[in-house]
């Protein structure tokens, strides 16, 4: 487990090994119960079994996970593409920019393009507001029919976000 950064209320960790999750409480997370995730800890551990390791970043208050972002490398594409597969902020903390901070950390740690397929209209609005566009509008993705419904973050937009990262954290360890 690597402490990436912190702000006045939370610490943000990159999880390397499944066992590192055992000391955390995930009871504040619930959105993905609607999509079949019944046990967050077991799901996180399952995600971390994959090689190359995906990025699992958690936001923590004391030992309680209040947010996470999960980014995987999409091996089916013959180019560098990272898929933001899941992101959640505890419902009681939405609107405090925690989701944006998790997004910033995720894109900071991933090379090249980040793509996502939003599950809800609200998620699509969130990512569109960050500059994501239809993936097929980016030349390198045009010929991939499996990207229907995916949004991609243009590299210039990604760079704009990354330049702001220090504004959102009081301590940076990355």
Q: pLDDT tier at 86 (50, 70, 90 boundaries)? A: confident
> Which spans in 48-120 are helix H?
98-108
Which of 30-34, 49-53, 92-96, 101-105 has the least mean pLDDT? Answer: 30-34
pLDDT of residue 139: 80
155-164 average pLDDT score:
96
User: In CATH, what class is 2-172?
Assistant: alpha beta
pLDDT of residue 161: 97
CA 73 to chain centroid: 12
Percent over 70 (pLDDT), the chain: 89
Please, what's the b/e burial string for 12-51 (b: 16 or more CB within 10 A of its CB; e: otherwise)?
Answer: bbbbeebebbeebebebbebbeeeebeebeebbbebbeee
pLDDT of residue 77: 63
Helix or strand run (H / E) with residue 151? strand 151-153
- Please calculate the CA angle 16-45-121 and round it to the nearest 5 degrees: 100
**pLDDT tens-digit profile of 14-64?**
998 888 988 888 877 776 555 566 677 777 777 777 767 789 999 999 999
Look at residue 69 and tell me whether its pLDDT is greater than 90. Answer: yes
Q: Where are the domains of the chain?
A: 2-172
Look at residue 118 and tell me whether its pLDDT is greater than 80. Answer: yes
Those residues whose C-beta lies under 8 Å from the C-beta of residue 143, and which sit 6 or more positions away, are: none
Q: Which of 62, 66, 54, 73 is nearest to 14 (CA)?
A: 54
Look at residue 96 and tell me whether its pLDDT is greater than 60. Answer: yes
Look at residue 151 and tell me whether its pLDDT is greater than 60. Answer: yes
pLDDT of residue 130: 96
86-110 average pLDDT score:
91
pLDDT of residue 109: 95
99-113 average pLDDT score:
93
pLDDT of residue 79: 65
Q: DSSP letter at 88?
A: E
81-89 sheet: strands from edge to edge:
133-134, 151-153, 113-116, 81-89, 64-73, 55-61, 11-14, 2-6, 171-172
128-138 average pLDDT score:
93
């Amino acid at each position: 487990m690597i402490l990436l950064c912190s702000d006045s209320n939370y610490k943000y960790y990159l999880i390397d090994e499944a066992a590192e999750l055992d000391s955390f409480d995930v009871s504040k997370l619930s959105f993905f119960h609607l999509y079949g995730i019944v046990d967050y800890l077991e799901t996180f551990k399952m995600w971390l079994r994959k090689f190359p390791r995906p990025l699992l970043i958690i936001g923590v208050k004391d030992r309680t996970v209040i947010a996470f972002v999960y980014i995987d490398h999409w091996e089916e594409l013959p180019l560098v593409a990272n898929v933001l597969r899941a992101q959640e902020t505890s419902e009681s903390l939405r609107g405090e920019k925690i989701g944006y901070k998790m997004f910033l950390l995720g894109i900071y740690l991933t090379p090249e393009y980040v793509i996502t397929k939003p599950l809800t209209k609200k998620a699509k609005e969130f990512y569109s507001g960050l500059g994501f566009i239809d993936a097929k509008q980016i030349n390198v993705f045009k010929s991939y029919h499996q990207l229907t419904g995916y949004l991609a973050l243009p590299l210039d937009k990604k760079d704009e976000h990354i330049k702001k990262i220090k504004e959102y954290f009081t301590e940076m360890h990355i």
